[in-house]
Copies of this chain bind each other. A is one copy, B any other.
Amino acid sequence: MKGRGYKATPQRVAILEALAAEQHQSLDEIHAKCPHVGLVTVYRTLDLFSEIGAVRRLDLGDGSRYELAEAHHHHLICDSCGSISEFEGCPIDPERLDVEGGFEVRSHSVEVYGNCAECL
């Protein structure tokens, strides 16, 4: 279940379950789902998960949020209610990126801002 050499402690399992319950949560929201785990451990564990690629950290302007790294997708952020949703159809073709000057592309992210169906 875990990558090489990492222990599956109860705390880590709890945090993984919290992450599985909902995408793009803030650290506080995750911690609220397993309050018996120390806050520092939540920070540490999310760092660890990010490093091994199990979790992606999002910086969408309202503090860090975390999501399980599943299928490639991007985010829709509602200007009025702040809700975050996902869309799968990736509009970027890495091969065709018009990036001059020897920059070697590894990955990308796209954020789309506007208004969600509820707010309209």
Question: Which residues in A have some Cβ–Cβ distance to B below 8 Å?
Answer: 57, 59-61, 76, 78-79, 85, 87-89, 91-93, 96-117, 120
Contact = CB atoms under 8 A, between A and B. Distances in A.
A95 to B, nearest CB: 11
A107 B103 contact: no
Q: How many copies does the complex hold?
A: 2
Given A109-B110, A110-B108, A103 B115 contact: yes
Contact of A92 (B91, B104, B107): B91
Nearest to A89: B98
A114 B104 contact: yes
A9 to B, nearest CB: 27
Nearest to A88: B98
